[in-house]
Amino acid sequence: MKRAGTVRAACICLALATAATCFAAEAEEKETPTWPRPRSTERQEERERMVDRQLADRDIRDKPVLDAMRNVPRHWFVPEDLQRSAYDDRPLPIGHGQTISQPYIVALMTQLLKVESTHKVLEIGTGSGYQAAVLNELTPHVFSIEIIRELADPARKRLTDRGYTKVAVKTADGYHGWEANARFDAIIVTAAATHVPPPLLGQLKPGGRMVIPIGAAFRVQQLMLVTKDEDGKVKSRVICAVRFVPLTGSHEKGQ
């Protein structure tokens, strides 16, 4: 009888452990969002070569980021007359004095954010929509602000038409962030600011990360990683030298 009792106890423990495992797996499955992410075979070899030579051969090691860069066709976001250069590792003009960042910088900034599928991300500077599309590969919660309406409207349509339907784009001064959708797990600023905008810091969650170029317009700037710990303490560190077009809101113009 003692042996039978031991066997029954072992079976009960095994059943409880199995149930707990199934419950945890079910909970994890429910917590992981799913969302539409377009796929295309257009110029796939060029994308593979871009990822292998420009990113993986350097310091981009995050697999989800590499996959995102591989999956998003950069030529969808490049002007027609520059299509031949779509996968070169350099920024390209997109009109109105703005550029689409070089692939390496897009990947580096994305990697620094450490985006997870449940994260809410704010982008300042939609441009052509390329960075937003890359972020949308990692999370369905992407909010992007563009101050130039002539860029914001086409970018919104381009993203929707291409299948990035979870990206929200609005025309506004990104210096002030997007208060209605705050707070954000990650914030990425794709234009150079003279300082870290206080409204963006306020909209960053405890434990959140912000990547922003800091420095004077049309000069070499410093790409900064800004973090906020669970107690709200802010720290920053320099990542590398970069050159971005300037943030053009009223605060940056000193108005």
From first to last of the 255 residues of the chain, give the pLDDT tens digit: 445 555 455 544 444 455 455 444 444 445 678 999 999 999 999 999 999 999 999 999 999 999 999 999 999 999 999 999 999 999 999 999 999 999 999 999 999 999 999 999 999 999 999 999 999 999 999 999 999 999 999 999 999 999 999 999 999 999 999 999 999 999 999 999 999 999 999 999 999 999 999 999 888 999 999 999 999 999 999 999 999 999 987 766 554
By the 8 A CB rule, do 168 and 144 touch? yes
Where are the chain's structural domains? 44-242
The yes-or-no answer on residue 250 being catalytic is no
Whole-angstrom distance, CA of residue 228 vs CA of residue 107: 22
**CA nearest 67: which of 166, 134, 145?**
134
Catalytic residue (choose from 101, 117, 128, 144): 101
Assigned CATH for 44-242: 3.40.50.150
Omega before 183 cis (within 30°)? yes
The whole model's pTM is what?
0.87
Q: Exposed (0-12), middle (13-18) or buried (19+): which is 235, by Cβ within 10 Å?
A: exposed
